[in-house]
């Protein structure tokens, strides 16, 4: 009888131990952290940087060979100075985009993307409006 009881106890313990392996948690792909998707406002910010650069380039290109009212980027004859004008436009675009990229990189979030998109759109629109105006100005002789 002791022998039968011992065998039954051993069978019960082995059955429980084999069942215990099925109870332990199984790691599935659902527990793996997924990379969060990039929000649409981030892509709008990226596009607005291109719009800013395009607006400033159009302003630069439309000023070539024309009379310049701004004495900082005009030469002694009152014409647009291409090297100073390009330097100023690159400084505007580079400073704005460089600052935005640094702030975005160190903040590790997308909360400022809407603000940056708005600022880029305004600065790009100013460049575009200036370019439209410059196309109406006759060439300097």
* φ and ψ at residue 18, rounded to 5 degrees: -70, -35
Q: What's the pLDDT score for residue 70?
A: 82
Spell out the residues 6+ positions from residue 110 whose beta carbon is closer than 8 angstroms to its own: 38, 39, 41, 42, 104
Residue range 84-121, pLDDT digits in tens: 889 988 998 999 999 999 998 888 788 889 999 999 99
Verdict on whether the full-model pTM lies above 0.75: no
Residue 108 φ/ψ region, left for φ over 0, alpha for ψ in the -120 to 50 degree band, beta for the rest = left
- Segments making up each domain of the chain, as ranges: 46-141
pLDDT at 72: 85
Residue ranges for the chain with pLDDT beneath 70: 1-2, 4-35
pLDDT at res. 56: 93
DSSP string, 61-105: HHHTTBB-S-TTTB-TTSBB-HHHHHHHHHHHHHHHHHHHHHHHH
């Amino acid at each position: 009888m002791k022998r039968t009881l011992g065998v039954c106890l051993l069978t019960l313990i082995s059955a429980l131990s084999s069942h215990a392996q099925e109870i332990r948690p199984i790691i599935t792909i659902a527990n793996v952290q997924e990379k969060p998707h990039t929000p649409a406002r981030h892509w709008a910010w990226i596009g607005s940087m291109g719009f800013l650069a395009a607006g400033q380039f159009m302003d630069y290109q439309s000023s070539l060979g024309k009379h310049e009212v701004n004495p900082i980027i005009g030469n002694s004859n009152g014409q647009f100075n291409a090297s100073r004008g390009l330097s100023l436009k690159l400084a505007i675009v580079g400073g704005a985009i460089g600052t935005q990229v640094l702030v975005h990189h160190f903040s590790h979030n997308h909360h400022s993307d809407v603000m940056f998109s708005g600022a880029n759109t305004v600065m790009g629109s100013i460049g575009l409006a200036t370019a439209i105006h410059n196309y109406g100005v006759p060439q300097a002789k």
